[in-house]
Amino acid sequence: MDKKRILIIDDEPDFVRVVQLRLEAAGYEVLVAFDGMQGVSFAHKEKPDAIILDIMMPAMHGHRVCETLKKSSKTWTIPIIYLTAKGSKEDEDLAYKLGAEHFLTKPYDPQALLAVIKKALEPEA
Amino acid sequence: MTTATRIEHRASISKNRLPSESIRVLLIEDNPGYSEIIRIMLDKIQGTRFELVCAKRLSEGLHHLGQNGMDIILLDLKLPDSQGIKTFDMVYAQAKGLPIVILTVTDNDEFALEAVQRGAQDYLVKEQVDAKTLVHAIRYAIERKRVEETLRETNLFLQNILESSDAISILYTDCEGTILYWNTGAENIFGYTAEEIIGRHTADILYPQDDAETKQSIEEVKSFIVNNRQGTSCEVREVTKDGRTLWINLHLTPRFDDHGQVIGILGIGQDITERKRMEEMLLNAAQEWRATFDAISDVVCLVDSERRIIRCNKAMTNLLEKPFADIIGQSCCGFIHGTEKPIEGCPFERMRDNLSTEAIVVQRGDQWFRISVDPLLNEEGNLIGGVHIMTDITKEHEIDKMKTELISNVSHELRTPLSTIQEGIALVSEGSLGPLHADQRDMLTRVKNNIERLSRLINDLLDMSKIEAGRMALKKSSVNISTLVEEVLSSFRDQAENKKITLITHIHNDILPLYIDGDKINQVLTNLIANSLKFTAAQGRITIGVKDKGTGVEISVADTGIGIAPKHMPGLFDRFSQFNREYGPGGRGTGLGLAISKEIIDRHGGRIWAESEVGKGSTFTFCVPRMTEEEMFREYLNNGLREAQEKECPLSLVVIRIKNIEKLIKTYTNTQVFTILREIEGLIGRTLRRKTDIVSRYKYGELIIALLMDTAKKDAEFVKERIRQEIEAEMQIKGWPRDIELFLDIVTYPNDAVDEKDLINKVAMGLWMEEGAEGGKDG
C-alpha cells in the first residue's frame, strides 16, 4: 500500500520541519506549504490524504483555508486537522463549524497527533 | 410666702374691709374737747360706722398702735410729750403702713407739710374740718395708702426680680444709650458695679474690635426700637471690666412715657459665650467633616437600614450628576438601579445578611468600580445602616486587562517555538534521527523535562489569563470519572515509581458518568497529584479516593508529605501563593496551579478544600456536583439554542425512543433495558460525525436525543435514517431482544419551535401523539 500523504500548512519553517520528521518517522509522506494560498493550491494539485493546518498565517488565514477546501468539490473529503497556538474556544468552534475533523493546540503531544491522524485517515464506517 | 402672693393678700384685706366693716380711727390729740368734736362728727356719718380710739399723749398713741386693729391715725403734732415733726416720725415708725392724717391749727403749718412729704397722707386744718371733709379725708387717706402700699410692694417685687437675677443682666438706658439702671446680674456678668457704670454709654462695654458693619448694625437695632416702637433681640459681643469678651444675647424692649413716646430701652441680656463657643465648635466640626468627606475621591454614601441614602459626598453627586437634595432620602435600589428590590449580588444586602464586607467589582459605563459596604452600628451594636464606598478602579482595571492580554499574547507567541523545541528534542532523543549514546540521551531527557516544565508554566499563565479575562469556557460532556482518574494516574506511575512513592486508589465501582469538562477536571487532578509528588519523600504514599456521593462525586488526593503550615492555609487557593512546602525535585511552580484548580471547580459548581498537618501530610479534596440527565439535556439544549439564535442557523433534534419500554421492563429487567438504552446512546455518539453534535438523554434516560447544530430538517432526516440503520445492525450483532420497537422523530428549530420550552414540549408531546396514532393503526 502506498504511503499516505499529509500536507502541512504552517508559516513556521522550523515547526514544519519537526512535524515533518515526526510524521515521516511514523511512515507518512509529507508535503509542506508555508502560507494559506500555497496550501490551498497544493491541496488541489496534490490531493493529500490529510491536512495539518495552522491558523495565523500570511497570505491566507487558516480558517479561510479550511472554508475554501471544504467548499470545493475536489478537496472537501480531505480531513483537516488544526494544529495551532491559537487555542481559544471560538477558534475551535469555528474550525468544527467549517468542517474540520480535529483541533489540536501547540505545544502538541506527538502521540495524540499521530492518533488523530490515524483516525482521520480511517475509511468511514 | 412669695412677694406676689403677699401683695395680693394685702390688697384683698383692704378691699374687703373698707365698705362693710367699721373703720377704726386712732385719734392722738391732747385736747379732749376737739376729740369730742371729731367723735360727734364721725357719729353723724350715715352708712359707715367709725370706732374712735382717743389718745391724749404720744406714748398713749404708740401704745394703741402696738395693739393693732387700727385703720387710720389722726395725729396732732403738738402733744404734751412730743412736739413737731418728731411726733410724726415716732408715729410713722410705729404705724406699720397705716395711713396718717395730720391735724393742724393753721393752713401753713410747716411741720404738717413736712410730714406729708415724709409719708403722711394728708393734713386737715382743725377749724375747717366738718363731718363731710373729715370722712372724705379718712376714706381718701385709707384708699391712697392702700394704692401706695400696692405700688410699693410691686416695686419691691420687681426690684427683687431685677436684683435676684444674678445670671441675667438687666439694664436700662435712655434713647441715646446712656445706662440708667444696672442690676446685680449685670454686675456679676460684666464686673462693673452699678455705681461704676450708671451714666456711662453702652458703647463703652461693646467689643471694641467689632468691625464697622457690626457696630453699624448695633446702632441700627437701637434706632429700630426707637422708630418702630417695638422690641427685638440680637447677639452682641461685649467686654467685661477685666477685659474678657462675652457673647450676650440681648432682648431689647422700648419704654414709653405717658404720651407713648419712647423714653428708654430695657435690655435683658444673657451670657451665651459658652453656647456660642459650642456652636462654633460644632459648626467647625461639621464643616471640617463635610470638607473631609467631600475631599474623598471615592464615592461614599451612608445608607440606612431601609436602604435610603442618608448622606453622600461630593464624588457621588458628581458621579450621578445630581444635587445633594435630589439624592438624600432616596432608596438606593430605585434611585440608582431603577429596581424595586435590591439588585442581584448587592453588597449592602450581603453585608446585612452576614456582615460580609467583601468588595465586588462592577462596571458603570466606561468606568469600573470596586464597591464595599461597611456596617454602620449604633451604640448598642445593632445594625442601623451601611457605609457604601465605591472606588474608581478603571485605571487599575485597564492595567490589569493589559497585563492579562500581555500574558495571553506572550504565552501564545511562546507556544510555537516551544512546540518546535519540544518536538525537535523528542525526535532526537527517541533516536529517530540516528542512534544516541547514554550521556546524550541523559542530557536530552533533562532538557525535555525542563521544556515540559516550561510548557506547563506557559499553560498555567494562559489559563490564568483566560480566567481573569472571564474567557475560560467549559466544554462539558458526559465523562466517566473512573476512567478519567485512571488516565491521570497512569501518566504519573513512572514518576511515582522513580521516586519510590506508592500510589493507592480507592475508587467506588460503577460511578455514573458526570457531565463535566473532562480536560479541565483532568487538569485539576493532575495538578493535585503533581503537587503531592513534589512534596512527598521517598517511601511515602499518595492515596487517590473517588467517592460517589449521589448528588456528586468527591475526589481526594492524600499524601504523606511535609504538610502545610497553618499560616499558609487561608491563602492556599489565591493566585501566586506558593505555600512554604519545601521544593522537591519538581522545583518551583507558578503558584497558579491551585488558583486555576479552584476556578475550574467553582465553574463546575463544586468545591475544593485542603486539610493538612505539618510533617504528616496533606489532603486536597474536591467535589463536582452531578447534573441529572434532565439538567444535562436542558444545558445542551440551551447552549445549542443560544448558538443557533446567535448565528441564525437551524438546530435539529433527533429523538429516539423505545415505544414499548414499559412492556420490555416487565419482560426483561430494568437494568437490561437501560443497558440497551445506554448502548444505543454510545452507538449514536459514534454515528455522529461532527464534534459539535451531541447525544443526550431526557425523561430519566428514556429518551435519547441527538442535537445536531446547524442542521436543517431535511439534512436531519438523513442522520435519522443512518441512526436507525446503525441501531438495527447493532441489534443483530449484540442479539438484543427482537421485540424492541423503536421510534425516531425530528424536532427542528426554528421550524417546529422557537424557544426551549416549546422545543421540549414538542420532543415529549410529538411522541405521544405519534404513538397514539400508531397504536390506532395497530388496533
pLDDT per residue over B76-125, tens digit each? 888 888 888 888 888 988 887 889 999 888 777 788 888 888 888 888 88
Please say if the pLDDT value at position B689 is more than 80.
no
Query: Which residues share a beta bridge with A83?
Result: A104
Task: Find the residue in A nearest to B454 (Cα).
Answer: A107
A22 touches chain B (CB under 8 A): yes
Percent of chain A at pLDDT above 70? Answer: 97
**Pairing mode of beta strands B651-658, B617-625:** unpaired
Residue scoring higher pLDDT (B595 or B350): B595
pLDDT attached to residue B48: 80
What is the identity of the amino acid at B62?
L
Q: What are B235's three cell numbers?
A: 447677639
| Coil/strand/helix, residue B476 | coil
For residues B136 and B505, give the distance between their C-alpha atoms in angstroms, rounded to a whole number.
135
Query: Which residues share a beta bridge with B24?
Result: B51
With an 8 Å Cβ cutoff, are B423 and A108 in contact?
yes
Question: Which of B109, B97, B103, B114 has its CA nearest to residue B79?
Answer: B103
Indicate the range of B13-22, B335-344, B349-358 predicted with least confidence: B13-22
Domain assignments of chain B as residue spans, ordered by start: 3-161, 165-278, 296-392, 397-467, 473-625, 630-778
Q: Which residues contact B217 (CB under 8 A, 6 or more apart)?
A: B234
CATH topology agreement for domains B296-392 and B630-778: no
Q: Which residues contact B312 (CB under 8 A, 6 or more apart)?
A: B299, B300, B301, B302, B324, B327, B328
Please say if the pLDDT value at position A29 is more than 90.
yes
Query: In Å, what is the CA distance from B170 to each residue of B83, B165, B185, B251, B271?
Result: 46, 8, 7, 10, 12
Residues in chain B: 779
Indicate the range of B107-121, B149-163, B335-349 predicted with least confidence: B335-349
pLDDT attached to residue B685: 78
The CATH architecture assigned to B296-392 reads: 2-Layer Sandwich (3.30)
Please say if the pLDDT value at position B291 is more than 50.
yes
Q: What are B94's three cell numbers?
A: 410705729
Query: Which residues share a beta bridge with A51?
Result: A7, A80
pLDDT attached to residue B692: 67
For residues B262 and B225, give the distance between their C-alpha atoms in angstroms, rounded to a whole number.
9
Instruction: Give the number of A-B residue pairs with CB atoms closer than 8 Å.
Output: 62
Instruction: Give the confidence band of B590 by pLDDT, cuts at 50, 70, 90.
Output: low
Are B160 and B153 within 8 A, CB to CB? no
pLDDT attached to residue B588: 55
Domain assignments of chain A as residue spans, ordered by start: 5-121
Instruction: Give the confidence band of B10 by pLDDT, cuts at 50, 70, 90.
Output: very low
Question: Which of B474, B410, B454 has its CA nearest to residue B632?
Answer: B474
Q: Does domain B630-778 have CATH number 3.30.70.270?
A: yes
With an 8 Å Cβ cutoff, are A107 and B475 in contact?
no
What is the identity of the amino acid at B47?
G
Residue scoring higher pLDDT (A83 or B511): A83
Are B294 and B312 within 8 A, CB to CB? no
Average pLDDT over residues B642-646: 81
pLDDT attached to residue B589: 61
Please say if the pLDDT value at position B778 is more than 70.
no
Instruction: Give the confidence band of B28 by pLDDT, cuts at 50, 70, 90.
Output: very high
Average pLDDT over residues B566-573: 82
For residues A79 and B663, give the distance between their C-alpha atoms in angstroms, rounded to a whole number.
45
B165-169, B718-722, B739-743, range with greatest mean pLDDT: B718-722
pLDDT attached to residue B700: 61
For residues A14 and A16, give the distance between their C-alpha atoms in angstroms, rounded to a whole number.
5
pLDDT attached to residue B691: 61
- Prior bond to B750 cis, omega within 30? yes
Average pLDDT over residues B149-178: 84
Shortest Cα distance, chain A CAs vs residue B335, angstroms: 39
pLDDT attached to residue B19: 46
With an 8 Å Cβ cutoff, are A106 and B691 in contact?
no
ipTM: 0.83
Buried/exposed B146-184: b ≥16 CB within 10 Å, e otherwise = beebeeebeeeeeeeebeebeebbbbbbebebebebbbb
A41 touches chain B (CB under 8 A): no
With an 8 Å Cβ cutoff, are A12 and B475 in contact?
no
Average pLDDT over residues B441-469: 83
Q: What are B338's three cell numbers?
A: 431603577
Mean pLDDT of chain B: 83
Task: Find the residue in A nearest to B726 (Cα).
Answer: A125
pLDDT attached to residue B69: 81
Q: Which residues of B touch A108 (CB under 8 A)?
A: 419, 423
Residue scoring higher pLDDT (B685 or A67): A67
A15 touches chain B (CB under 8 A): yes
Q: Which residues contact B769 (CB under 8 A, 6 or more apart)?
A: none
Q: Of the CATH numbers 3.30.565.10, 3.50.50.60, 3.30.499.10, 3.40.50.10320, which one belongs to the domain with range B473-625?
A: 3.30.565.10
**pTM beyond 0.80:** no
Instruction: Give the confidence band of B545 by pLDDT, cuts at 50, 70, 90.
Output: very high
Average pLDDT over residues B36-57: 86
Sheet of A29-33: strands edge to edge? A29-33, A5-9, A50-53, A80-84, A102-105
Instruction: Give the confidence band of A7 by pLDDT, cuts at 50, 70, 90.
Output: very high
A70 touches chain B (CB under 8 A): no
Q: Which fold has domain B397-467?
A: Helix Hairpins (1.10.287)
Superfamily of segment(s) B3-161: Response regulator (3.40.50.2300)
For residues B125 and B283, give the distance between their C-alpha atoms in angstroms, rounded to a whole number.
76
pLDDT attached to residue B149: 83
A31-45, B345-359, B378-392, B625-639, range with greatest mean pLDDT: A31-45
With an 8 Å Cβ cutoff, are A15 and B471 in contact?
no
Are B25 and B70 within 8 A, CB to CB? yes
Which of B413, B416, B423 is nearest residue A110 as measured by Cβ atoms? B423
| Coil/strand/helix, residue B574 | coil
Please say if the pLDDT value at position B332 is more than 70.
yes
Which CATH number is associated with domain B165-278? Answer: 3.30.450.20
pLDDT attached to residue B765: 64
Superfamily of segment(s) A5-121: Response regulator (3.40.50.2300)
Average pLDDT over residues B382-407: 86
Task: Find the residue in B nearest to A86 (Cα).
Answer: B412
Are B696 and B707 within 8 A, CB to CB? yes
For residues B118 and B514, give the distance between their C-alpha atoms in angstroms, rounded to a whole number.
123
Best residue of B427, B603, B730 to probe chain A, by most A CBs closer than 10 Å: B427
Rounded to 5°, the CA angle A99-A101-A103 comes to: 105
Indicate the range of A16-25, B226-235, B283-292, B583-592 predicted with least confidence: B583-592
